[in-house]
């Protein structure tokens, strides 16, 4: 029954992770399911096995997590991610051209129509702040 509990816990973890649930919440729940189906004491497994192993994992890899977060924030603030990824999407290019004042005429009209569609669907992260401000969204 112990192996079956592990497999069921793993299956639940994968299923709910693919549906968009946070793995930080799913992992402890899956561990409890595996322990319960293995007829193990739940509190002992939770405090002595799972939490100890999770703490060791976080302590061992904390520098990697920290440096990754700092690097990601640095890339986001400097907008250097487009240099790494390539030229970026068309809407990102349009945003940069709009902010530089280089977007005019038909191109500007096309971008405004695209941004309006994105705004209707709730995707506002790539629309220039001046456009959002003028529309009363920002």
Relative orientation angle of helices 2-18 and 23-37, to the nearest 10 degrees: 160
pLDDT the model gives residue 12: 92
> How far, in Å, CA of 65 to CA of 57, rounded?
11
Nearest residue to 96 via CA among 71, 109, 79, 113 = 79
Lowest-pLDDT choice from 23-32, 57-66, 79-88, 96-105: 79-88
Tell whether pTM > 0.85. no
pLDDT, greater one: 129 or 48:
48
> Is residue 11 pLDDT above 80, yes or no?
yes
Largest CA distance in the chain: 70
pLDDT the model gives residue 112: 67
Tokens 């193990």 — which residue?
A: 40
DSSP characters for 61-124? HHHHHHHHHHHHHHHHHHTTHHHHHSS--HHHHHHHHHHHT---HHHHHHHHHHHHHHHHTT--
pLDDT the model gives residue 56: 94
Is-contact 50 28, C-beta < 8 A? yes
pLDDT, greater one: 101 or 47:
47
> How far, in Å, CA of 73 to CA of 3, rounded?
42
> How far, in Å, CA of 92 to CA of 20, rounded?
26
């Amino acid at each position: 029954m112990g192996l079956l509990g592990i497999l069921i816990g793993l299956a639940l973890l994968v299923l709910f992770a693919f549906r968009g649930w946070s793995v930080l919440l799913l992992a402890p729940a899956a561990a409890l399911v595996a322990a319960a189906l293995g007829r193990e004491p739940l509190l002992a497994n939770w405090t002595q096995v799972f939490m100890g192993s999770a703490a060791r994992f976080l302590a061992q890899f904390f520098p990697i997590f920290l440096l990754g977060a700092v690097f990601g924030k640095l890339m986001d603030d400097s907008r250097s991610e487009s240099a790494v990824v390539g030229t970026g999407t068309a809407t990102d290019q349009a945003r940069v051209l709009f902010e530089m004042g280089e977007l005019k005429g038909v191109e500007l009209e096309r971008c405004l129509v695209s941004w309006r569609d994105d705004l209707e669907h709730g995707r506002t992260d790539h629309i220039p702040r001046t456009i959002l401000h003028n529309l009363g969204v920002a």
